[in-house]
A and B are shown apart, each in its own frame.
Chain A
């Protein structure tokens, strides 16, 4: 579901874990289709947000924690670790100990296993530091040999050379035996180390998500058993680029039934709305908080979103073939009795205006058959008004009063993106020409369009 072209990658790119373990958990963030899993993820972010005051110091500690999975795998396969690897394990035990202290009383999921035994195995001198050294007390004979080596090196007598190299060799062999002993003693702690690595990654990711929530002002969504409602939903990516050009994203609010049709003129933001709903659902099902002031949404087994924009080209299909492919998957979902959210942007638009609306009507009817599914269509076709039992929305569109009152503004100034439920007697908006004129299309050409319209206009 991550490959849905709804801007989810942009959101992911803003999440910035510190440790390699956290980054890997982010890369493998699963699509969650169980409410429990999602609730747990929410809880982790709430727990972490409570630690807000300590986050800066926790992050400093995290930045010192290395990924030691390679070393652990060497250890568990019975290899003798070298000094660098033993250091890595000692340092890991040292810093996760600090992390544990810093977290203090905390939620059960962030409880790190006690690695003080691991640390003490690697700290024979009780130095209490991160450094690792095979000290004299690791073996009874080390102290004497090293003293003698030092003495010989200081006097530097030529005829003692062979004696010196014999002692160096002996020192080398004893150190190797010590490494082997230490590795054996550590072997029993592999599981605890692996668990600590896993939990460190979880803590790191939860902090990164908490940062994201603060940065984008995301809120915790509520899980519903069927209702679908959001208030003040925004699209962070589009919102950001609008802000850069001094404009504002107009948030959407709606309560969606199971069969929804959204109509509206050109440039009113139907596609943006659909894309944002796809993003909302995708973020929700990856356990993230969402860009809405309030959201009450159900968990689905699958999300099918057809934007028609570019995904078909990427897959090497014509836009019509892409559309059919998505329809086929949606139909399969309905038939196989799993739950699904279907989001179709202007179904049938890539074929002729006689057959196109028929695709829309048929989809609306078929995809409604499963109680477990919800479909949202946007459309330009007037026929959409005839879809039975559909909840109809319209995006307000051009504000004609504004056009009369104020002239010479950018076209976006005159468009109202509010989503409103349609009354039964409202007519279909035909505003293409108005919008084209606002965008500054040649007036003679506009006249030509008008002459070419059957049945006149405006």
Chain B
């Protein structure tokens, strides 16, 4: 068996790392606490925020006990007024932002003693970006984003330098299916970047669907949701979508040699079957801004108490991908 992994080593040189869970109870918080602990031991100043309601003491669906987020003294964090008031440690209030949330304004603070907190930072992407830049201005050497379940936006390369993907039995109890679903997510996160020369030209295109036409791009549709395109026109062409990519749009662009490009993986809302059909028809999918997947973590326990054979799953994943796969309970919790 491998020795316990020092997961913070995997994130070296990455200032902003987001931890994304494919499902609730996939062990995101365990990973986060481990990272916080390791950074704390190295004396690294950490900033912490989250999207959505995270760090709640009990899982909101299954009511299982969840690991809380443990801050070291000196850690900066962003959370809602309500959750800040419920903390059990001394803290300095540094700023208060009026991001709209049902839990009140967002407090930016620094822990003055160690303690546990419920994290509920801003969810709206623009505010998340701002929160991260505020943390940077405080001098945080590392910023961790606790992503809300199955939302990919915190991982967008625009905000994060790296992603840790958490998966596990909560996603499926069938190893084959769990493996397939996880590999699909990894595939989207790892989509290749379009060559820089062409990508630079696409960066300036705003709104809707654009098609390459010789040296220029012309607008095919002003809405990214349009689903009818003349087949002859799109075959073999590069098509750029400034917006979200849905399954039906991707299928309507299924032609031999077609290349669809989107801003980054967080804009893709395509199911596995549609992507497969598109690729079988001879299409390619690329991004302008590639993401950096740092590691995949696996939680063998499902929230209902079932445990899968993690060794088998890890081996299956390791065969297909070239980033480290880590078992949160056996390796991290040791």
Report B158 CB to chain A, min CB distance, Å: 25
**What are the residues of chain A within 8 A of B84 when measuring CB–CB?**
83-84
- CB contact list, B59-97 vs A, under 8 A: 73, 81, 84-85, 88-96
- Report if A59 contacts B (CB, 8 A): no
Report A17 CB to chain B, min CB distance, Å: 15
Interface residue stretch chosen among B106-114, B243-251, B257-265, B270-278:
B106-114
Asked whether, in the complex, the Cβ of A88 is within 8 Å of the Cβ of B96, the reply is yes
Asked whether, in the complex, the Cβ of B113 is within 8 Å of the Cβ of A91, the reply is no
Determine the interface band of chain A, counting residues with CB < 8 A from chain B: 20 to 34
Q: Which of A83, A88, A153 contacts B91 (CB 8 A)?
A: A83
Asked whether, in the complex, the Cβ of B91 is within 8 Å of the Cβ of A82, the reply is no
Report B41 CB to chain A, min CB distance, Å: 11
Closest to A64 in B: B95
Asked whether, in the complex, the Cβ of B85 is within 8 Å of the Cβ of A153, the reply is no
**What are the residues of chain B within 8 A of A171 when measuring CB–CB?**
90, 113
Report B85 CB to chain A, min CB distance, Å: 6
- CB contact list, A137-152 vs B, under 8 A: 146, 149-150
Asked whether, in the complex, the Cβ of B113 is within 8 Å of the Cβ of A150, the reply is yes
How many Cβ-Cβ contacts under 8 Å join chain A to chain B?
Answer: 45
Q: A84-B85, A150-B113, A153-B114 known; A66 and B91 CB under 8 Å?
A: no
Contact with A along B121-161 (1 / 0, CB 8 A): 00000000000000000000000000000000000000000
Complex CA gap A172/B98 in Å reads: 27
**What are the residues of chain A within 8 A of B98 when measuring CB–CB?**
66
Q: Which of B92, B93, B95, B113 contacts A146 (CB 8 A)?
A: B113
Asked whether, in the complex, the Cβ of B96 is within 8 Å of the Cβ of A66, the reply is yes
Q: Is the interface of B mostly helix, strand, loop or mixed?
A: mixed
- Report if A306 contacts B (CB, 8 A): no
**What are the residues of chain A within 8 A of B107 when measuring CB–CB?**
84
Q: Which of A83, A146, A168, A175 has the most CB of B within 10 A?
A: A83
Q: Is the interface of A mostly helix, strand, loop or mixed?
A: helix
Complex CA gap A86/B93 in Å reads: 9
Q: A149-B113, A150-B113, A153-B114 known; A132 and B92 CB under 8 Å?
A: yes
Asked whether, in the complex, the Cβ of A131 is within 8 Å of the Cβ of B93, the reply is yes
**What are the residues of chain B within 8 A of A134 when measuring CB–CB?**
90
- Report if A414 contacts B (CB, 8 A): no
- CB contact list, A111-170 vs B, under 8 A: 130-134, 146, 149-150, 153, 168
Q: A82-B85, A84-B85 known; A132 and B90 CB under 8 Å?
A: no
- CB contact list, B214-240 vs A, under 8 A: none
Complex CA gap A450/B84 in Å reads: 81
Complex CA gap A130/B109 in Å reads: 12
**What are the residues of chain B within 8 A of A175 when measuring CB–CB?**
90
Asked whether, in the complex, the Cβ of A84 is within 8 Å of the Cβ of B92, the reply is no
Report B107 CB to chain A, min CB distance, Å: 6
Q: Which of B88, B93, B112, B114 contacts A172 (CB 8 A)?
A: B88
Q: A150-B73, A171-B90 known; A84 and B113 CB under 8 Å?
A: no
**What are the residues of chain A within 8 A of B89 when measuring CB–CB?**
168
Using CB atoms and an 8 Å cutoff, list the residues of chain B in contact with chain A: 73, 81, 84-85, 88-96, 98, 107, 112-114
Taking A86-B93, A132-B93, A150-B114 as known contacts, 6 extra A-B pairs with beta carbons closer than 8 A to each other, sorted by chain A number, are: A83-B93, A84-B85, A87-B93, A131-B94, A133-B93, A168-B89
Pairs A–B under 8 Å by Cβ, sample size 7: A83-B84, A83-B93, A88-B96, A132-B92, A133-B90, A150-B113, A153-B113
